[in-house]
Chain A
Amino acid sequence: MTKSNLTRRGMLKTGAVAGAGLAMPTIFTGASWAGSHTGFTNAPQGSTVTLGFNVPQSGPYADEGADELRAYELAVEHLNGGGDGGMIPTFSSKTLDGTGILGKKVEYVTGDTQTKSDAARASARSMIEKDGAIMITGGSSSGVAVAVQALCQEAGVIFMAGLTHSNDTTGKDRKANGFRHFFNSYMSGAALAPILADAYGTDRKAYHLTADYNWGYTTEQAVRESTEAMGWETVNTVLTPLTQTDFSSYIAPVLQSGADVLVLNHYGGNMVNSLTNAVQFGLREATANGKQFEIVVPLYSRLMARGAGENVKGIFGSTNWHWSLQDEGSQAFTRSFGTKYGFPPSQAAHTCYVQTLLYADAVNRAGSFNPCAVVEALEDFEFDGLGNGKTLYRGADHQCFKDVLVVKGKENPDGPYDLLEIVEVTPVEQVTYAPDHPNFGGAEASLGSCNPGA
């Protein structure tokens, strides 16, 4: 008889306690936004100014976070007059001259969001309170962006969002101190639908698999509404758990549902796995309703596309930016980033780099680090030369409006970074919506007023 204290129930109990411990959020206690008091939080005192780069350095999006951090380091180098200046010479606003921001040398601190809202808030809070960061930027998830944006609003610092695609970031959860350069679910749907109708016809039946969280819902809604407006029918929408790794049991019934298009509202590891599974199950060779079966991935990322390997070939999706763009700004950035790191930048790197430059320029134009002055300088600011053509930072919701790229997995890639090809650059007019659009919180959604903090 083996001696043992272990019982089944005991084991389950221990497991449950261990699980609860792992899932326990960092608990925040009372706020004390003590900065240097000159009318706003963390007013720079000496000859330097500190920016806080809050990116996933661990967890599932660590590689994306690493690319964001590379972009931030490059931006700081360029702001301080190092390197080839990247997009500073191509930027339509000319206040950046390599002497930092308002003459102060730019320094930075980094935090690890772990792609968890509580961890991201804790690291942002620490950078604001301990390191005196005047602005927080970065991230690779909408959950994190919304959480950190609310914290920055409360703390009285500016938040320049990184990669966040959910409508809510500049929709129902918009904040006066927060700004998003990245595009959103609605724009993806609006840009994709006409291309899909062109390529696959207007008589299609779509089946949606959707990641069961905020970003998934807004993306499904956007693609569903815009494709239905083109004449498509939505056969079914199924929510999949965020922790799912094998999607076979969700994918297998698709062909029996009468659908002839599968839309994968998944990102990151979810996307890699669901797409791989769909291809394994022969969906790309299948015919349904007398048509070739097709798969669509609304939000593409090159870093994720690599994980899916061969399976992305020929599949449509949208992206905020791609290094193969031929405009002056994109080329300057790709050259600068590629020379320093040896490979082209991702869309996450691009949006983070641009956000840093936009912030620095806004401070210069405002002549002050005061968040309220910066907000004023960024609102309804029109610019060009940063890789997306003419862009407007709309004052009503702090969302950037610019052209959207519809891309396709490349059939014959030249090397490991050449995975996507641009199918169309959808003009900004086609993806613009009213600030009180029902998908963005409707008439109730409000920025509130800017908070300078201390």
Chain B
Amino acid sequence: MDAIILQILNGLDKGSAYALIALGLTLIFGTLGVVNFAHGALFMIGAFCAVTLQKILSLSHQVVDESRKDFLGNPLKVDVPYIYEWFGETTGQAIIDWSVPLAILFSIPIMVLVGFAMERGLIKHFYKRPHADQILVTFGLAIVLQEIIKYFYGANPIPTPAPDAFTGSFDFGVLLGFDPFTIIYPYWRLIYFAFAMIVIAGVFAFLQFTTFGMVVRAGMADRETVGLLGINIDRRFTIMFAIAACVAGLAGVMYTPINSPNYHMGMDFLVLSFVVVVVGGMGSLPGAVLAGFLLGVLESFASMAAVIDIIPGINQIIIYLVAIVILLTRPRGLMGRRGVMEE
């Protein structure tokens, strides 16, 4: 029982990341009709916003400490962040410590800008082109972005820890009456799950309860008619692209304390996110979220030692297996409707 609860919890945070990325993908599918293979790269850029802010906050100058020696036996040069001098060491350290949450604010304008530039600069020109072209160009763009990040930040993962207040883990087992240390769960993953829920709720509320959202939904259903009504749907779609980029970016920022970001992290999520979108039902936002969590939880269960013992290798194929079963039984995915994204 405790093992099952644990894997459900585990699946939720993984599912959160899948759901957030798949949500953005579906928004772009639904509004622009573009298959955006660069969406994983947006997730990665978000994560590197957090890395960048951490680097900016820890910008330092070197002070020679005569009492200590470096590896060559010369006096040790100690890096002292400027921020220590401006705010004092305690406050300065606290600001650096909180760089990941602060990066949420830092990343929003950057992601909006990146999303805007990407849509206006490149993707706009591919609206009328076949999907194969869109996939090639966005995949190419993803590789370019990845290489740019690698050039500036190197290939190794960069540790970006959560604030000290959120390190450590919560003992669910004790809460539920199990022995201590049976169901423990890191605080930051709980925060990630809560954050994902807030962002998802925010996007749904925005689409459901604002005039802007209503127009976008109308445009998703019938772009031409909305255009004929004299509404500039293209501009709204550009804004939706920027919002989708922002959602992916925020998912990336908050993910950095879970796994140290590296240039390749976007690709790791991209393929799975596409499976999530297809399983959830193309163009269905609730479907993307549902499928994200479903596949996250299933993946967690499949990697339990007891399950692998019964079916070796199941942990590597579970997602694709489920995708095949769902597409065979429900060809439009879990929540896909007839006629959406079909000829």
- Smallest Cβ-Cβ distance to A418: which chain B residue: B71
Q: A14-B135, A281-B169 are in contact. Are A334 and B71 (CB under 8 A)?
A: yes
The 0/1 profile, CB within 8 Å of A marked 1, for residues 167-180 of chain B is 11100000000000
A245 touches B (CB below 8 Å): yes
Chain A proximity of B21: nearest CB distance (Å): 13
Does chain B have a CB within 8 A of A273?
Answer: yes
Identify the interface centre among B10, B130, B220: most chain A CB within 10 Å of its CB.
B10
- Complex Cα–Cα for A151 and B223 (A): 58
Q: Assess whether A32 is interfacial by the CB under 8 Å rule.
A: no
Cβ–Cβ contact B14 & A12, under 8 A: no
Chain B nearest CB from A208 CB (Å) reads 11
A13 to chain B, nearest CB (A): 10
* Stretch from A192-200, A301-309, A390-398, A400-408 forming part of the interface with B: A301-309
A147 at the interface (CB under 8 A from B): no
- Segment among B85-93, B104-112, B115-123, B148-156 that sits at the interface with chain A: B148-156
A-facing residues in B34-53 (Cβ within 8 Å)? 35
Q: B residues within 8 A CB of A62?
A: 150, 154-155
Contact: A324 with B71, CB < 8 Å?
A: yes
Residues B184 and A282 in contact, CB atoms below 8 Å apart: yes
Tell me the number of A-to-B contacts counted with CB atoms below 8 Å: 188
With contacts A60-B264, A280-B188 known, is A256 near B2, CB below 8 A? yes
Q: Tell me which residues across on chain A come within 8 A of B167, comparing CB atoms.
A: 280
Q: Are B131 and A245 in contact (CB under 8 A)?
A: no
Q: Is the CB of B131 within 8 A of A415?
A: no
- Docked Cα-Cα span, A281 to B167, in Å, equals 10
Task: Decide yes or no: A256 and B3 within 8 Å by CB, A2-B223, A249-B299, A269-B157 being known contacts.
Answer: yes
Give the B interface residue count (CB, 8 A).
76
A241 touches B315 (CB 8 A): yes
Q: Name A290-307 residues within 8 Å CB distance of B.
A: 303-304, 306-307
Q: How far is the CB of B145 from chain A (nearest CB, A)?
A: 15
The CA of A277 and the CA of B274, in the complex, are separated in Å by 25
Answer yes or no: B113 CB below 8 A from chain A CBs.
Answer: no
Known contacts: A249-B14, A323-B71. The answer to whether A309 contacts B161 by CB under 8 A is yes
Query: Are the C-beta atoms of B131 and A14 separated by less than 8 Å?
Result: yes
Q: Is the CB of B168 within 8 A of A6?
A: no
Flag whether A255 is at the interface (Cβ < 8 A).
yes
A309-B159 contact given A8-B327, A286-B181, CB 8 Å threshold: yes
User: In this assembly, does B11 line the interface, its C-beta being within 8 Å of a C-beta of chain A?
Assistant: yes
Complex CA gap A310/B160 in Å reads 10
A281–B341 contact, CB under 8 A? no
Q: Do B131 and A287 have beta carbons less than 8 Å apart?
A: no
Q: Select A256's contact among B6, B70, B72, B332, beta carbons within 8 Å.
A: B6
Tell me the complex Cα distance, A309–B259, Å: 11
CB contacts (< 8 Å) of A15 on chain B: these are: 135, 271, 274
Residues of B within 8 A of A14 (CB): 131-132, 135
Cβ of A135 to closest chain B Cβ, rounded Å: 26
Measured in the bound complex, the distance between the Cα atoms of B331 and A309 in whole Å is 46
A38 at the interface (CB under 8 A from B): no
- The answer, yes or no, to whether B316 is at the interface (CB within 8 Å) is yes
Q: Contacts of A308 on B, CB cut-off 8 Å?
A: 159, 260
A217 at the interface (CB under 8 A from B): no
Which residue of B154, B168, B220, B340 contacts A285 across the interface (Cβ within 8 Å)?
B168
- Residues of chain A with a CB closer than 8 A to B339's CB: 1
Q: A246-B258, A276-B259 are in contact. Are A310 and B156 (CB under 8 A)?
A: no
With known contacts A2-B220, A62-B154, A269-B157, A7–B341 Cβ distance under 8 A:
yes
Please name all residues of chain A whose beta carbon is closer than 8 Å to the beta carbon of B131 when the two chains form the complex: 4-6, 10-11, 14
Taking the complex as formed, is A243 at the interface, i.e. its CB lies under 8 A from any CB of chain B?
yes
B295 to chain A, nearest CB (A): 12
CA distance A1 to B221 in the complex (A): 5
A contacts with B, residue count (CB < 8 A): 70
Inter-subunit contact B181/A287 (CB<8 Å): yes
Q: How far is the CB of B313 from chain A (nearest CB, A)?
A: 9
| A245-B159 in contact given A286-B181, A287-B181 (Cβ < 8 Å) | no
Q: How far is the CA of A310 from the CA of B299 in the complex (A)?
A: 29
Q: Is B56 an interface residue (CB 8 A)?
A: no
Most buried by A among B30, B70, B259: B259
**From A207, which residue of chain B is reached at the shortest CB distance?**
B305
Say if the beta carbon of A83 comes within 8 Å of chain B: no
Set of chain A residues within 8 Å of B341, measured between Cβ atoms: 2, 4, 6-8
Point out the residue from B68, B72, B265 that lies within 8 Å of A335, measured CB to CB.
Answer: B72
A46 within 8 A of B: no
Q: Is A269's CB under 8 angstroms from B278's CB?
A: no
**Do A245 and B268 form a contact, CB below 8 Å, given A269-B157, A280-B188, A338-B72?**
yes
Residue of B nearest to A250 (CB): B303
Distance in angstroms between the alpha carbons of A417 and B79 in the assembled complex: 13
Which of chain B's residues have a CB closer than 8 A to the CB of A418?
Answer: 71
Interface: A19 (CB within 8 A): yes
Pairwise interchain contact A4-B33, C-beta atoms closer than 8 A: yes
Residues of B within 8 A of A321 (CB): none
Q: Verify if A253 is at the interface (C-beta below 8 Å from B).
A: yes
Contacting residues of chain A (246-288) with chain B, CB-CB under 8 angstroms = 246, 248-250, 252-253, 255-257, 269, 272-273, 276-277, 280-282, 285-288
Identify A7's interface contact among B130, B132, B181, B343, CB under 8 A: B343
A215 proximal to B (CB < 8 A) = no
- Knowing A245-B268, A253-B3, A418-B71, the reply to whether A288 touches B181 (Cβ < 8 A) is yes
User: Chain B contacts of A130 at CB under 8 A?
Assistant: none
Q: Could you show 13 A-B contacts with beta carbons less than 8 Å apart?
A: A2-B341, A6-B341, A7-B341, A7-B343, A8-B327, A248-B300, A252-B10, A253-B7, A256-B3, A273-B157, A276-B260, A307-B262, A334-B72
Told that A249-B11, A252-B10, A286-B181 touch, could you supply 15 new A-B pairs with CB distance under 8 A? A1-B221, A1-B339, A2-B30, A2-B33, A4-B33, A6-B282, A7-B343, A240-B315, A243-B268, A277-B258, A281-B169, A282-B168, A307-B157, A307-B262, A323-B71
Q: Which B residues lie at the A interface, using CB under 8 A?
A: 2-3, 6-7, 9-11, 13-14, 30, 33, 35, 68, 70-72, 76, 78, 130-132, 135, 139, 150, 154-159, 161, 167-169, 181-182, 184-186, 188-189, 220-223, 258-260, 262, 264-265, 268, 271, 274, 278, 282, 299-301, 303-305, 308, 315-316, 323, 327, 331-333, 336, 339-343
Chain A interfacial positions (CB closer than 8 Å to B): 1-12, 14-15, 18-19, 58-63, 236, 238-241, 243, 245-246, 248-250, 252-253, 255-257, 269, 272-273, 276-277, 280-282, 285-288, 303-304, 306-311, 323-324, 334-335, 338-339, 343-344, 414-415, 417-418
